[in-house]
Amino acid sequence: MKHVLKLFSLLVVISALWIGLLQASIIPRSHTWLVSFFLCFDVLLFMSNYCNAVSLNDIAEAKDFLKQKGVDVGSD
């Protein structure tokens, strides 16, 4: 659950920055959709990599926990 909150807060911060850039007219309106696409793609890629790393870490922790309890979890 902690990881979901981290990802959600990251998304909120990025959204706030993006809205701020649009309101301040720092990014020209003609480039808005292009920059939005690349920003969304980068965020999705980061979240995918982050979730994979967290999942692998959680699996390793679960295996260690089960081994300590005497459960055979198979080969690594």
DSSP states of the chain as a string?
-HHHHHHHHHHHHHHHHHHHHHHTT-S-GGGHHHHHHHHHHHHHHHHHHHHHHHHHHHHHHHHHHHHHTT------
Residue boundaries of the structural domains of the chain:
2-68
pLDDT single digits (tens) 22-59: 777 776 777 777 777 777 777 777 777 777 777 777 88
CA 32 distance to own-chain centroid: 23
Model's pTM, two decimal places? 0.47
Give residue 71's pLDDT. 83
What average pLDDT does the segment 4-31 reach?
75
